[in-house]
Amino acid sequence: MSTSSSKTASHTGDETPAKDYNAIDLAAFNGKELPADFIDVEDCYIVHGIRHHENFARSIEVTQLCLEKGREFARARNAGLIMSNEVPQMSSEVEKPYCIWYPDLATEDTYRSLAQRYPDMRYNVGRACAVAGYKALYDELDLLPDVSIAEEARDNGHMDIFDAIVNQPVRYAVMNDYTRTVELENPSAGVCLNGDAAVRSSLARPMPKKKFNVTRTDGHYFDIQEDKNAGPSSWPTPECSTLEARFTELAYMPLPRDLPALNKDILILLAAWDGNVERYSRLRRPVLVPNELTAVLRGVYHHTPFARWLSTCVDDIVRPETTLSDLVWQAIHARSIMNGDLSRIDSETDGETLPSLFWWPHHPHETTLRELVWRRPDLRHQVTLACIASSYHELYNELTAGTEPTQQQLEMAVQVMNPHYREDVLRRADEHGVKLFPYTGSHDWEHTPWPHPTRWSRSYLRPDK
């Protein structure tokens, strides 16, 4: 997020006034002026200013900027000109904008001229028709029934265009709001309305009357204006989503073929949390939504079919060879260990993908743990923790004989009912002169030894995450 900041710059030893970076951002955002130094402002604020302010887009400074700098400025300017009823000269594909229907709408004749001059933009024009209700022009375009255009028509109340699309036996996904691309050659067929369009109503953000700080939203799955959802710093942000009361039954009822007009992020989280393969595979977006990774990890730990399915498509969910990918593989391997399946774990398995927790929500069999520590001696310590949690005396004694205890072993030992493990850890600490800190369960110091006999609960075994 971009926030206002101040720095003190000096020149030839003289102090100059600190820059008001929020004022610089706002000037670009509101289409007032370009910054004197482009290092001082985010490009997305300039893009927003160009798209939303015609005079700014037509200014000599912005015109020159579009010739010299990144193509995103040229696309923003061309979008602004189109929405101001001028069909610009666009010499290359990289200068053609994706969204030409927000924040303003051109006339039907302007969109008709645009489609005639640039036939490859006819689906963009069709999307604008769905926003404006230009049914005659939409029919002239003779487009495939595209689901994004259908969702846009529904959002704007133009049910004649909506019905013309959804009543077709086969629908297509031609427009892609995630990548801002239009697939003219080989669009996906047989698709449904699945909440994958950044409809116009979702783009509007209320503008406060008083001075405000401007922010952006990096990494949001939709950015059809190419301004990183720039807007006033306020709550809720574009990353927040809610499920309206009238749609709550979708949390437990079978999903309809066509989703109603809603933000499906909550449904994605619920599907991942419950380890529901069919719902999650249908609903998920090409990128993770906020809190999705946590829900996915929980689903993997608790549901074997979900873990098995995810192991076939991890790279489709998260980028390969990243921290997020390692976390998902750790959960998959943990679920496999709890199931007694060590087929994916050997001496060649990347240690970053091996879990540190594999005894919750189910205890692996003792023979599985014995095999695991043989295959991966580097997991010896974690296996001792699993033995404590699972009360496997024999294997625990084998692994800890003659070794120094650890703080983690003590913290695990005080959370189980069997006093053997706590006594053994403390005994070995005395033998090896290891200082361990008393564990209270709440990370507070207590004079009374813990655990208290009347306060034990299985919930103590649950990891703090």
pLDDT in tens, 193-231: 999 999 999 998 877 777 788 889 888 999 999 999 998
Are 148 and 265 in a shared domain?
Answer: no
Domain boundary among the residues 202, 233, 262 is at 202
Are 181 and 267 in a shared domain?
Answer: no
Instruction: Reply yes or no on whether the pLDDT at 388 is more than 80.
Output: yes
Are 61 and 136 in a shared domain?
Answer: yes
Residue-averaged pLDDT of the chain: 90
What's the whole-number mean pLDDT along residues 439-456? Answer: 47
For residue 392, being part of any structural domain is answered with: yes
CA angle 326, 279, 277 (to 5 degrees): 50
**Distances, alpha carbon 312 to alpha carbons 169, 259, 329, in Å:** 32, 27, 11
Q: What is the pLDDT of residue 285?
A: 97
Q: How many CB atoms lie within 10 A of CB 343?
A: 6
Percent of the chain scoring above 90 in pLDDT = 79
What's the whole-number mean pLDDT along residues 435-443? Answer: 71
Are 167 and 286 in a shared domain?
Answer: no
Q: How many CB atoms lie within 10 A of CB 462?
A: 11
Are 304 and 445 in a shared domain?
Answer: yes
Instruction: Out of 61-65, 163-167, 215-219, 248-252, pick the least confident.
Output: 215-219
For residue 4, being part of any structural domain is answered with: no
Instruction: Reply yes or no on whether the pLDDT at 280 is more than 50.
Output: yes
Q: What is the pLDDT of residue 204?
A: 85
Number of domains in the chain: 2
Distance CA 337, CA 333 (A): 6
Distance CA 296, CA 285 (A): 13
For residue 406, being part of any structural domain is answered with: yes
120: left (phi over 0), alpha (psi -120 to 50) or beta: alpha
What's the whole-number mean pLDDT along residues 58-83? Answer: 94
For residue 397, being part of any structural domain is answered with: yes
pLDDT category, 441, cuts 50, 70, 90? low
Q: What is the pLDDT of residue 460?
A: 38
Are 277 and 181 in a shared domain?
Answer: no
Distance CA 301, CA 337 (A): 10
Percent of the chain scoring above 70 in pLDDT = 90
**Distances, alpha carbon 375 to alpha carbons 280, 380, 383, 398, 444, in Å:** 34, 10, 12, 16, 38
Domain boundary among the residues 183, 202, 221 is at 202
**Distances, alpha carbon 135 to alpha carbons 130, 142, 161, in Å:** 8, 11, 6
Q: What is the pLDDT of residue 20?
A: 81
Q: What is the pLDDT of residue 138?
A: 99
For residue 16, being part of any structural domain is answered with: no
Instruction: Out of 67-71, 226-230, 293-297, 419-423, pick the least confident.
Output: 67-71
Are 168 and 255 in a shared domain?
Answer: no
Q: What is the pLDDT of residue 323?
A: 94
Are 268 and 415 in a shared domain?
Answer: yes
Q: What is the pLDDT of residue 14?
A: 53
Instruction: Reply yes or no on whether the pLDDT at 463 is more than 80.
Output: no
For residue 220, being part of any structural domain is answered with: no
Instruction: Reply yes or no on whether the pLDDT at 439 is more than 70.
Output: no
Which amino acid is present at 220? H
Are 267 and 192 in a shared domain?
Answer: no
Instruction: Reply yes or no on whether the pLDDT at 10 is more than 90.
Output: no
**Distances, alpha carbon 409 to alpha carbons 406, 417, 431, 453, in Å:** 5, 14, 16, 20
Instruction: Reply yes or no on whether the pLDDT at 451 is more than 50.
Output: no
Q: How many CB atoms lie within 10 A of CB 103?
A: 16
Are 312 and 181 in a shared domain?
Answer: no
CB 174 within 8 A of CB 144: yes
Domain boundary among the residues 202, 236, 261 is at 202
In our burial notation (b when 16+ CB lie closer than 10 A, e otherwise), range 422-447 reads bebbbebbeeeeeebeebeeeeeeee
For residue 67, being part of any structural domain is answered with: yes
Are 193 and 257 in a shared domain?
Answer: no
CB 296 within 8 A of CB 324: no
For residue 100, being part of any structural domain is answered with: yes
Are 73 and 131 in a shared domain?
Answer: yes
Domain that holds residue 150: 21-202
